[in-house]
Chains A and B, each alone.
Chain A
Amino acid sequence: MEVPILKQGAVLIATFQAALSDADLNQLRMGLVQQVVKFRSRAVIVDVTAMDVMDSFASRTLREIAHMIRLRGAETVIVGIQPEVAFAMVQLGLTLEGVATALDLEEGLAYLNEKFKTTN
């Protein structure tokens, strides 16, 4: 199952589906970085609202995506982590240290707008 990547101005939006395999996640990682380069995007929003399980592999991949995109000079925001998923992640010992998160897509866009304003 491929993750659709939407381009909205300088921001790319990737929306996760529920049942992503490791291969899907790896593909997304490559796809996002390539598109950030291609479109000279300034930010990426990864919407994980539909994800019902965030295990160690998924959260490591998200962290890697954020770090790779930062090396390109762009920003990543993870949005929509469900409360139950957040609870399970903490129990499992997973963190998304150094990665920006926001409640939902709207908040994520607002965060980026604010950030771009102050850096312009």
Chain B
Amino acid sequence: MSVGEIRVPINSDQDIVSARQKGRGMATELGFSSGDATLIATAISELARNIVSYAGKGQITLKMVTGSSRQGISVIASDDGPGIPDIRLALRDGFSTSGSLGLGLPGVRRLMDEFEITSQPGQGTIVAVKKWRQ
């Protein structure tokens, strides 16, 4: 089995669909349950949507990761957009600057096992999340 790494450019709402389909495909190939694959695909959908709404374009990178005794999937969403001035605020439920529900980032954090965000105003945003196979 060689899953390797998949990079999905995100430029439009159609790419959101394509990214989450590829994510579900990779998760299934890695042996995730169908329920977990749905959680992963939903998280990818939210991350890709953030790219489209806030940065316009960016990319999603899907990768297999290996821990000491487990396997998982890593999803990295990156863009060169305006960045997030206050990450703490962006991680709070209900906060949004684009008129969305503001559930994106805190929701994604709940869907996945690990969550990391790096962002600075004017320097884009990188959200890296992981889910481990049960």
Contacts and interface: CB of A to CB of B under 8 A. Distances in A.
Category for how many chain B residues contact A: 20 to 34
Contacts of B20: 53
A2 to B, nearest CB: 14
A22 B6 CA distance: 23
Interface in B78-124: 93, 100-101, 103-104, 106-108, 110-111
A57 interface: yes
Contacts of B45: 53, 55
A94 B24 CA distance: 20
B17 A92 contact: no
B38 A93 contact: no
B13 A92 contact: no
Majority-rule SS of A interface residues = helix
Nearest to B34: A84
A56 B39 contact: no
A85 to B, nearest CB: 6
A20 B38 CA distance: 15
Interface in B22-66: 24, 34-35, 38-39, 41-42, 45-46, 49
B13 A93 contact: no
Given A19-B17, A60-B101, A91 B110 contact: yes
A23 B107 contact: no
B103 A56 contact: yes
B38 A92 contact: no
B69 interface: no
A21 interface: yes
Interface string A57-80: 100100000000000000000000
Given A88-B111, A92-B107, A93-B106, A55 B42 contact: yes
16 contacts: A19-B21, A21-B14, A22-B16, A23-B14, A52-B38, A55-B42, A56-B46, A84-B35, A87-B39, A88-B111, A91-B39, A91-B111, A92-B46, A92-B107, A92-B108, A93-B103
Please give me the 3 A-B residue pairs with the lowest Cβ-Cβ distance, nearest first.
Answer: A22-B13, A92-B107, A55-B45
Interface of A: 19-23, 52-57, 60, 82, 84-85, 87-89, 91-94
